[in-house]
Amino acid sequence: MIAIIDYDAGNLRSVAKALERAGEKPLITCDAQTILNSQAVVLPGVGAFSDCMNSLVSKGMDKVVKACFEMKKPFLGICLGYQMLFEYSFEHAQGTNGIPGLGIFKGSVKRFPESAELKVPHMGWNTLKFAKASPFFEGLDTETYVYFVHSYYVDAEDRSLVAATCDYGITFDAAIAGDHFLAMQFHPEKSGDVGFKLLSNFLKVVKGS
């Protein structure tokens, strides 16, 4: 069973439907034991970083996510569910202090620089460039299009984590991956056949773990 963490994120249902299309029957839940006993865990998210972190903490899901990583449970993070894995975000932060994230990985979440040529948020289809080989990307072209909606981007400190990048005024970290986890800024549930392939690959990793 694939558990989708329920912390009132706006895209829970669309992610669940995408996983169903890929052949899985996910369960949307905030029950800690159910999540910890699942085959794999998905953390989606849309909206403001601080609101999502507050909701995650209020439901005790911050501890559950950290436990999943300690257990090396297959894990998929999407959009804010990717950003929150890092140490802090400068979204709506006061002064120079960032808003704390889960701190599972070192790095921060920054706003795209202002530019007359580029609109913020970064919204729509853009090219994904793979930075390293991963079973999550099996069967995908070297450069492929996926769907983004975000004003802030991850800047990962450990460059060996970075699995894919994208260019939008700057080159930013579009995805990270390890043996048991994949987390991405873009939305696989909105990325057509490419998104379907990514989710299918994730499920293959889950079933092979």
- The CATH number of whichever domain residue 77 belongs to comes to 3.40.50.880
Q: What is the domain count for the chain?
A: 1
Cis peptide before 121 (omega within 30 of 0): yes
Domain-embedded: residue 81: yes
The reported pLDDT for the residue numbered 189 is 95
Tell me the percentage of the chain whose pLDDT exceeds 70: 97
Residue 209 has pLDDT above 80, yes or no: no
For residue 114, count CB atoms less than 10 angstroms from its CB and return exposed for 0-12, middle for 13-18, buried for 19 or more. Answer: exposed
The reported pLDDT for the residue numbered 4 is 97
Query: Using CA atoms, how far apart are residues 96 and 139, in angstroms rounded to an integer?
Result: 42
Supply the residues annotated as catalytic.
79, 187, 189
Domain-embedded: residue 100: no
Q: pLDDT band for 143, please (50, 70, 90 cuts).
A: confident
pLDDT (tens digit per residue) in 71-114: 999 999 999 999 999 999 998 766 567 899 999 999 999 999 88
Domain-embedded: residue 101: no
Measure the CA angle with vertex 79, ends 77 and 84; round to 5°: 70
Domain-embedded: residue 99: no
What Rg value do the Cα atoms of the chain yield, rounded?
16
Our measurement of the distance from residue 118's CA atom to the centroid of its chain's CA atoms, rounded to an integer in Å, reads 23
Query: Using CA atoms, how far apart are residues 163 and 22, in angstroms rounded to an integer?
Result: 22
Our measurement of the distance from residue 100's CA atom to the centroid of its chain's CA atoms, rounded to an integer in Å, reads 17
Domain-embedded: residue 185: yes
* Domain ranges, residue 197: 2-94+106-208
**Mean pLDDT score, 163-175:** 96
